[in-house]
Structures are given as C-alpha cells and as structure tokens.
Amino acid sequence: MKNLKGLLVTVLLLLSVGCQSIKQKEKLNIIVFLVDDMGWQDTSVPFWNERTPYNNVYQTPNMERLASAGMKFTQAYACAVCSPTRVSLMTGMNAAHHRVTNWTLRKDVQPVADDDKLAQPDWNVNGMSPDEGIPNTIYATPLPQLLKDAGYFTIHSGKAHLGAIGTPGSDPLNLGFDVNIAGHAAGAPGSYYGTESFGNDDPNRTTWAVPGLEKYHGKDIYLSEAITREAAHAMDSAVNNDQPFFLYMAHYAVHTPIQGDDRFVQKYLDQGLLPTEAKYASMVEGMDKSLGDIMDFLIEKQIEENTVILFMSDNGGLSAVARGGEKHTHNKPLSSGKGSAHEGGIREPMIVKWPGKVKPNSVTHDYLIIEDFFPSILEIASITDYQTVQPIDGVSFVPLLTHQNVSSSKDRPLFWHYPNRWGPLGPGIGASSTVRLGDWKLIYYHSDRSFELFNLRDDIGETRNRASDSREKLKELALVLTNYLKQVNAQMPLDKQTGQVVEYPSDLLD
C-alpha cells in the first residue's frame, strides 16, 4: 500500500511536470526588441535594395542572425520622435488620434517652446495614462495589461518614456508590466556607465538618472548589458514559473548621450571613424550583443521554438547635429533623420522571427506603421477577445508574416501628424502632417502651408518635390490626409500672425 501511494505520488509529480512544460510551450513568448533612435542604415543588415557604405561600417552580427531566421521589413515606419511612437505601440492608436504628438517629460510643460510663427495645440503633453481623468493624457488600455490579463508574465526592461513625471503613465508597473527594470519618465539616460551609476552620481541631473540597477552602481558595466542581464533574470523566473512571457526590451541605446561602449569602440577607431562616429557604432554593437545574448538565452532554456522576436527602432537616426556634438549618423540614401517627416526620420530597421511561421531569410516590401504592433502582438498571442477603452487604429501585420491573404499594403494610407516643434533644423523638420499612399508621399508643412510630394519608388532620397508637376496627385493625397485629420479630430497649431488655427491641407487647394 505504502509503495502504491509512493508510486501514485511519483506519477502525479511526473504528470504535473509534463503539464508544466506543455503550459510554457503552448503559448508563444513574445519579445519586442525596441532600439532608441537607431537609423535605417546603422546596421550590417541591408534594408535597401543594395548594400550601402554604412552597412559595411556597422557590425550587427546578431541582427544578421535574426534576419536570416526571420522576415526583414524594408518599409516599416514609426513616428519621428520617441514618445509618439511608444504610445502608439502601447495603445494601437495613431499619433494624430492619441495626441501625444511630441516627446514627454515634465508634467504640464511643453518640452520645446513655441516658435514665432506657430502656437502648438493643447496636445497630450503628459503622455498616456491607464487611469481616467488625468489631464493632458490619452486614457487607454495598455498592451501589456491585455497580455498580463491573458496569463503572460510581462517584463519591461529599459526606456519607458510613456508618461510625464508624476503621472501614472510614467511607471511601467501601472501599465500592466509585472516587472520594471530601469524605466521611468525620461527618454535618455544620465549616463550609460555603471561607473557613473547610470547618472545617479550627478545631483544636478537627477531627472535623467536611470532608476533601479543599484547593484551595478560603481561597476564597470554598460547600461545595455545591465538591462539585458536583468531581463534574462526576469525571463528565467517566468520560465521557472511555467508562465509565458512578454518582454519589452526597450534599449536606451543608441540615444544620446553618445558614450562609447568600451568593449567595441577601438575597432571602429581603427577603421578610421571619427571619435563620435566610433562611439556611436560601439553603442550599436553593444545593443546588438544584447540581442544575441537574448537569442542565446532562448536556446539555452529550450524556448527558442516558441518565442517570437520583433525588432524595431522608435524613430530615425539622429542626423541633425546633437547639441555641442559632431554628426554621428546619416540614414543615407534616406533624407534627413530623427524629428523629420522625411524617410530618414520615420523609416526603421524591422525584423520579425517567428519559428515555424515566418519563412527564414525572407523579406517584405509592404509597408506598415508602429500602431500595427498592438493588434499584431495580440494576434500572435492568440488573444482575440479583448476590450480596450480606446479605438484601435493599427492593422495586424500577421498576414504579411505568414503570407496569408497577401494583399499589398499599397491601397492603405499611413498617417503622421506633428503639430509641434522639435528644435534642431533640417529637411522635413517642422510642424507637419503627412500621408503615404502607394508609392507617393505628401507632407504638408503647417508653418508656411507648403507641400512636398515625393514618389518614393523613383526617389527614395526625397530630392524632387513633385507638388507643382503632379497637381492631381497632390490634390488626391491632400484630400485623403484632410479626411483622416478630420476623422480623428486632429489638433492643428495656431498661426500667431493670423490668430487662426492652421487650415487642413485640402482647404488650400481647389
């Protein structure tokens, strides 16, 4: 009898272990690997139809590894600056709709003052909020909350930049994350160096001091490495608890300050890069190492086959000269960079690996935009029956990944809306509204009501403004843009000279 009891216990134990492993494996783990300010060309993976000199400068072997196992998107779009992209990802809404149109930091304070010509509208300067009634926020059901409610262990690692200081949205733990590693209101680290306690040693810059990570303070470790190790600990606990996980691996890198990652910087100096360029390239490679470490972790834990990785950047490379700095990236053949409505500001390196579903080493030239991540991730997680307080603008790109119902994206318009001021100057930078439809893209500049119309198929560098020679196309796109802006009640700036709200684009054409 005693033996029988023992046998039963053993069988039950074995059964429960068996069930646990099925439980982990029956759901897909999902990793969003979001890089900050990484340009389309800051990688050894070519995203254009030919290799560029930049693809030979930057060394990202783990992105190459990811691309060889997954699908590369050559026309993936985000917004031109940080917070709008991040809020779109977390809410599924277009920036014109959620109204977090510029980057956020201090409660009720514009990050960049108005210029002489335009007064910025009353946009959602405090970012997103999981709670109703917080002034100047978009009240929304955050993506990680839906994943958590469906049984996912939700991990935030790195930069949040989703809500202003002192508002609920500034803390990832209020947005449905079970774990928050190093995320808060600020969109840049005080320092990437553990030896500088990631900015906590400077009493004059506490706003930018990276929270948490105390165990690495004073240590010789780069921020990208520290948040990767902590993310691995968190993933490990999910695996041990037999729970599927969602990891939002949102690197602070490669945003300013441009601080060299000493593990990699020398070889770029040896290549003849200028010091700032070499430091930047080393930050890119440090980020890439993080990607490789995470991929290795998945193999080690035998969860590679049921884990989806989505690689993306939140806006274009910073090609405008950073304050007091040297130019460190270019985005060419694209025009301009971060902050710009031109392709250099919004076209991102994107790769998706989904074992068994996505064809290895595949590529798509169909376009998509950042709010599409929201419904796509929920579809990947097989979460179909969910409720959100906000309407979802994004469209799932799962059919693109799996080649089901492949309808080209060419009939779908994409929209950007930036009724704000960024600061640095350059091509395509300034308050504007933009539509992409098929090969064409129209940018409407609020300040002087001018238009730029480009055919991206013929002119990826946006060098030839076709607004005057393609009047019908101009009018067609202006109407599509106007209708959308009206539909979502998009906020336009005020013209200080006329005292009037800036017109919608179609109102200027007849």
Of 170, 70, 101, 109, the residue nearest 315 (C-alpha): 101
Residue 224 or 315: the one with the smaller Cβ distance to Ca ion is: 315
Contacting residues for 323 by C-beta, under 8 A, at least 6 apart: none
Rounded to a whole number of angstroms, the minimum distance from the CB of residue 462 to Ca ion is 21
The piece of 38-46, 261-269, 307-315, 451-459 that touches Ca ion (CB under 5 A) is 307-315
Q: CB nearest Ca ion: which residue? A: 82
Rounded to a whole number of angstroms, the minimum distance from the CB of residue 161 to Ca ion is 8
Residue 187 or 505: the one with the smaller Cβ distance to Ca ion is: 187
User: What SS3 class is residue 207?
Assistant: helix
**DSSP labels, 18-84:** HHHHHHHHHS-EEEEEEESS--TTSSSS--SSS--HHHHH---HHHHHHHHHSEEEEEEE--SSHHH
Q: Is 16 left (phi over 0), alpha (psi -120 to 50) or beta?
A: alpha
What's the chain's Rg over C-alpha atoms?
Answer: 23
- For 277, counting Cβ atoms within 10 Å of its Cβ (0-12 exposed, 13-18 middle, 19+ buried), the class is buried
The piece of 177-185, 314-322, 324-332, 461-469 that touches Ca ion (CB under 5 A) is 314-322
Pairing assessment for the beta strands 138-139 and 153-158 based on DSSP bridges: unpaired
Q: Which residues pair with 246 in a beta bridge?
A: 30, 154
Q: Is 88 in the site for Ca ion (CB under 5 A)?
A: no
Out of 314, 371, 372, 452, the residue judged to bind Ca ion by CB under 5 A: 314
Tokens of 173: 């733990």
**DSSP labels, 258-306:** ----TTTHHHHHHTT--HHHHHHHHHHHHHHHHHHHHHHHHHHTT-GGG
Rounded to a whole number of angstroms, the minimum distance from the CB of residue 79 to Ca ion is 9
Residue 399 or 424: the one with the smaller Cβ distance to Ca ion is: 424
Residue 250 or 431: the one with the smaller Cβ distance to Ca ion is: 250
The piece of 53-61, 217-225, 231-239, 311-319 that touches Ca ion (CB under 5 A) is 311-319
Rounded to a whole number of angstroms, the minimum distance from the CB of residue 78 to Ca ion is 8
The piece of 169-177, 265-273, 308-316, 327-335 that touches Ca ion (CB under 5 A) is 308-316
The piece of 236-244, 312-320, 402-410, 487-495 that touches Ca ion (CB under 5 A) is 312-320
The piece of 37-45, 165-173, 226-234, 410-418 that touches Ca ion (CB under 5 A) is 37-45
Rounded to a whole number of angstroms, the minimum distance from the CB of residue 315 to Ca ion is 5
Rounded to a whole number of angstroms, the minimum distance from the CB of residue 241 to Ca ion is 33
Q: Is 37 in the site for Ca ion (CB under 5 A)?
A: yes
Rounded to a whole number of angstroms, the minimum distance from the CB of residue 441 to Ca ion is 21
Residue 338 or 473: the one with the smaller Cβ distance to Ca ion is: 338
Tokens of 380: 């990947």
In whole angstroms, give the CA distance from residue 68 to residue 170. Answer: 36
Site string for Ca ion, 222-241 (x = CB under 5 A): --------------------
Of 100, 139, 106, 151, the residue nearest 121 (C-alpha): 100
Contacting residues for 274 by C-beta, under 8 A, at least 6 apart: 326
The piece of 257-265, 306-314, 328-336, 488-496 that touches Ca ion (CB under 5 A) is 306-314
Tokens of 407: 């309808």
Rounded to a whole number of angstroms, the minimum distance from the CB of residue 310 to Ca ion is 17
Rounded to a whole number of angstroms, the minimum distance from the CB of residue 338 to Ca ion is 7
Rounded to a whole number of angstroms, the minimum distance from the CB of residue 313 to Ca ion is 8
Rounded to a whole number of angstroms, the minimum distance from the CB of residue 345 to Ca ion is 10
Residue 82 or 140: the one with the smaller Cβ distance to Ca ion is: 82
| Binding-residue total with Ca ion (CB under 5 A) | 5
In whole angstroms, give the CA distance from residue 432 to residue 239. Answer: 46
In whole angstroms, give the CA distance from residue 501 to residue 366. Answer: 35
Let me know: does 20 contact 242? Beta carbons within 8 Å.
Answer: yes
In whole angstroms, give the CA distance from residue 189 to residue 286. Answer: 15
Rounded to a whole number of angstroms, the minimum distance from the CB of residue 318 to Ca ion is 8
Cα 165 → chain centroid: 20
Rounded to a whole number of angstroms, the minimum distance from the CB of residue 133 to Ca ion is 29
The piece of 34-42, 266-274, 361-369, 458-466 that touches Ca ion (CB under 5 A) is 34-42
In whole angstroms, give the CA distance from residue 9 to residue 280. Answer: 58
Let me know: does 307 contact 31? Beta carbons within 8 Å.
Answer: yes
In whole angstroms, give the CA distance from residue 34 to residue 125. Answer: 22
Residue 2 or 323: the one with the smaller Cβ distance to Ca ion is: 323
Q: Is 42 in the site for Ca ion (CB under 5 A)?
A: no
Give, as ranges, the residues between 53 and 82 that touch Ca ion (CB under 5 A): 82
Tokens of 79: 């917004």
Tokens of 300: 């080690």
Residue 279 or 473: the one with the smaller Cβ distance to Ca ion is: 279
Tokens of 266: 């020398």
In whole angstroms, give the CA distance from residue 284 to residue 136. Answer: 35
The piece of 195-203, 270-278, 309-317, 340-348 that touches Ca ion (CB under 5 A) is 309-317
Out of 31, 33, 36, 101, the residue judged to bind Ca ion by CB under 5 A: 36
Residue 24 or 313: the one with the smaller Cβ distance to Ca ion is: 313
Residue 82 or 435: the one with the smaller Cβ distance to Ca ion is: 82
Out of 315, 396, 409, 491, the residue judged to bind Ca ion by CB under 5 A: 315
User: What SS3 class is residue 95?
Assistant: helix
Residues in contact with Ca ion by the rule CB under 5 A: 36-37, 82, 314-315
